[in-house]
């Protein structure tokens, strides 16, 4: 007797949920046009002319405006990039190869010698695959490196992870370049 109005109400709610749940995917910005991307994002500014923080030396646009210390190491008041080499991964994998573990052991030693420092693990992927899949894979790679550091005795509170997915990957790159894109960067956070 009273079933028809209840069915209509239920059907209306279900239809509203179905149609409201569908939305367009957001458009990802080009990394070069953002503040955190490889460039400065500012028109007419040459990143090579900027002396970050008055530390002397040249900045490198691929290092996010950090100042070169030499030997591929870049630093500013907040972080050090390139001090510890990235951990590389096989295609579509997030397991850490035995040959890559010494890099994480080096990160553990650095953290033990510098108790004020923390570490940021950035997961990266090559250009193959969807943006969503690569963000997930980058997250799994960073998480695997994090878990390995925890097994080495590093406190979880001193480890941060971030997935960059394929944001910094070279599209249609050679196999040599794509193998370098499949990595977890180890960035020392000084604060």
In tens, the pLDDT along 92-150 reads 999 999 999 999 999 999 999 999 999 999 999 999 999 999 999 999 999 999 999 99
- The pLDDT score that the predictor gives to residue 70 is 82
Residues 6+ apart with CB under 8 A from 111: 117, 118, 119, 149, 154, 158
- The pLDDT score that the predictor gives to residue 54 is 37
- The pLDDT score that the predictor gives to residue 29 is 53
Mean confidence (pLDDT) of the chain: 80
Q: Are 92 and 137 in contact (CB under 8 A)?
A: yes
The rounded Cα 46 to chain-centroid distance in angstroms is 25
Query: Rounded CA gap, 82 and 79, in Å?
Result: 10
Average pLDDT over residues 18-25: 50
């Amino acid at each position: 007797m009273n079933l028809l109005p209840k069915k209509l109400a239920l059907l209306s709610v279900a239809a509203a949920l179905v149609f409201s749940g569908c939305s367009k995917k957001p458009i990802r910005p080009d990394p070069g046009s953002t503040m955190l991307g490889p460039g400065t994002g500012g028109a007419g500014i040459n990143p090579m002319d900027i002396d970050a923080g008055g530390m002397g030396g040249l900045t490198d646009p691929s290092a996010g405006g950090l100042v070169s210390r030499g030997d591929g190491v870049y630093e500013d008041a907040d972080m050090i990039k390139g001090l510890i080499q990235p951990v590389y991964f096989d295609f579509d994998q997030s397991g850490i190869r035995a040959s890559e573990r010494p890099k994480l052991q080096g990160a553990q030693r650095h953290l033990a010698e510098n108790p004020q420092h923390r570490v940021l693990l950035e997961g990266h992927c090559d250009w193959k695959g969807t943006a969503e899949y690569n963000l997930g894979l980058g997250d799994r790679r960073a998480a695997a490196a994090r878990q390995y550091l925890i097994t080495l005795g590093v406190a979880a509170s001193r480890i941060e992870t971030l997935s960059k997915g394929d944001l910094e990957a070279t599209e249609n790159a050679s196999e040599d370049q794509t193998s370098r894109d499949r990595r977890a960067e180890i960035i020392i956070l000084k604060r």
